[in-house]
Structure 1
Amino acid sequence: MRIYISVDMEGVTGLVDADDVQPGGRDYERGRLMMAEDVNAAIRGAVAAGATDITVNDAHGPMRNLLPESLHPAARLIRGKPKQMGMLEGLTPEHDAVICVGYHSRAGALGVLSHSFMGHEIEDMWLDGRPVGEIGLAHATAGAIGMPVAVLTGDDCACAEMAEWDPSVTTVAVKYARDRFAAELRPADEARGAIEEAVAASLSVPPKSSAPAAGPSTLAVRWQSASVASMLLGIPGVTATDSRTVEAQGGVPGLYRLFGVWMRVAASLTNQAPYC
């Protein structure tokens, strides 16, 4: 059984603030170790369920958060950027299931460290007219290549968002949002035990592959800055619906990769701190 694990940081056990998840933050070094402990719990669960091949993709920010020496030896690590498929780099049809560790709710939700990919630079996103963030877009992209999402961990708001997309996904709440930068925390050992148990139980039954999506989809993004939207119109296939919103059509995996290009353009035009 081949398992793919995408690891974000905002939804990791114990973390609630930008200083916990951004390089240079006063608690970042502790945060990256907490991140490793959550993913190691998921790896242990996968191994217990019989996984023989585990790929972990560091999917947060600079994508160099996980220290290789801190990772469980049963897994291989994809580290660094740029990556053509970003948070899903390395996911292939040969995998049997996807596990999302440390994920967070989308922009506009009152979840811990909620945002959609780029702090407040992205005001909203829609996939086929439905509001979407990192959770929904990852789920749709995995499904488009036939990969089921088996487990997601994060705060209770992230778990609720996943349930709205696919109630069959097992979710583990490691903290409960009190506000965007405050949460009631589960004890670390309890949270990691819950992650390990959920992954082992979910994978103990052979995951059912999702049916690849048929037909084109539409991805739309509303940016804070009209200059970003204007610059993106230079990319073939990108159209504007208003001065700050652009969209494109195509297969979901291709749209996911295209969206990565949009973010690199936006990053070159803006210099605003996330989470403010």
Structure 2
Amino acid sequence: MKVYISADMEGISGLVDAEDVQPAGSDYERGRVMMTEDVNAAISGALSGGATDILVNDAHGPMRNLLPDRLHQRARLIKGRPKPMSMLEGLDSDFAVVLCIGFHARAGSPGVMSHSFMGHEIEDMWLNGQLVGEIGLLHATAAALNVPVGLLSGDDAACAEMAQWDTDVTTVSVKLARDRFAAELRPVVEARAAIQAAAHNVVAELSASSREQSQSPPVDPCTLAVRWQSAAVATHLLGIPGVTMRDARTVEAVGKMVDLYRLLGIFLRVAASLTNQGPYC
């Protein structure tokens, strides 16, 4: 059984601030260790549950965060960027399940380090009229590839957000948000044990039977809308064929879900070239 792990960083055990998750941060190197060990917990659980092949995608920021020499030896790793499918690079219908480790809530949420892809620069996003962040877009894209999301770990806000998309996804809360840069932390040993147990149970259930998706794949065509802080970003994105303007700061595009996910990556590259804001300003 092939298992896919998408690993973000803001929802990792023990991490609460930009200093923990950005390469220039004073605690970033420690954060990389913490991230790798949370992912290792998921790998160990998946293997004991029956996984035979595990692919891990480093999905945070520069996508060079996980430590290959500390990663479980049974897992393969996709590291670096750019990647056409970003947080889902390498995923296809051959995989049985997606495990999301270290995820965070969308922009505007009270969750720890909450944002949608570009921190302050993206104010809101909508998929088919529903407010969405990284969690919802990943879930919808995985569904379009016919792969269910089985597990998500992160803070309590991220877990609640996933439940809004699919109540059948197992969630593991590793911290309780107190503010955007503060949290009540679950003991690390306990948090990793919970991730490992949840990964085991999800994969074992799939090994024993056929896990059904509780939410059908989005019906194409889908509509993705993104509201930017800067009107200049929206204006520049109009140069992409098929992109239209909803208002001075909001653009939208219509198409297949997988194509829209790829298109968002182009949006982000354009926006990054026009702005100098850090992800947590």
TM-score normalised by the chain length of structure 2: 0.97
1:70 to partner: Cα distance? 1.1
1:202 to partner: Cα distance? 1.3
CA distance in 2, matches of 1:208, 1:146: 12
1:205 to partner: Cα distance? 1.2
* 1:216 matches 2:218: no
* Alignment coverage as a number of residue pairs: 276
Q: Which amino acid aligns with 1:198?
A: A
1:8 and 1:103 in contact (8 A); partners too: yes
* 1:260 matches 2:262: no
Q: Pick closer, same or farther for the CA change 1:78–1:194 going to 2, 3 Å.
A: same
Q: Which amino acid aligns with 1:236?
A: P
CA RMSD between the two structures: 0.9
Map 1:62-141; keep pairs closer than 5 Å.
Answer: 62-141=62-141
CA distance in 2, matches of 1:215, 1:101: 28
1:36 and 1:70 in contact (8 A); partners too: yes
1:214 to partner: Cα distance? 3.1
1:12 maps to which residue? 12
CA distance in 2, matches of 1:212, 1:192: 31
Q: Which amino acid aligns with 2:262?
A: R
* 1:248 matches 2:253: yes
Q: Pick closer, same or farther for the CA change 1:209–1:53 going to 2, 3 Å.
A: farther
2:234 maps to which residue? 229
Task: Return 123-132 or 207-216, whichever deviates more.
Answer: 207-216
Deviation sequence 1:84-109 (CA, Å, 0-9, x none): 00000000100000000000000000
2:220 and 2:257 in contact (8 A); partners too: no
CA distance in 2, matches of 1:34, 1:209: 32
1:213 to partner: Cα distance? 3.6
CA distance in 1, matches of 2:152, 2:26: 27
Map 1:121-200; keep pairs closer than 5 Å.
Answer: 121-200=121-200
1:11 and 1:104 in contact (8 A); partners too: yes
CA distance in 2, matches of 1:219, 1:132: 9
Gaps of 5+ in 1: none
TM-score normalised by the chain length of structure 1: 0.99
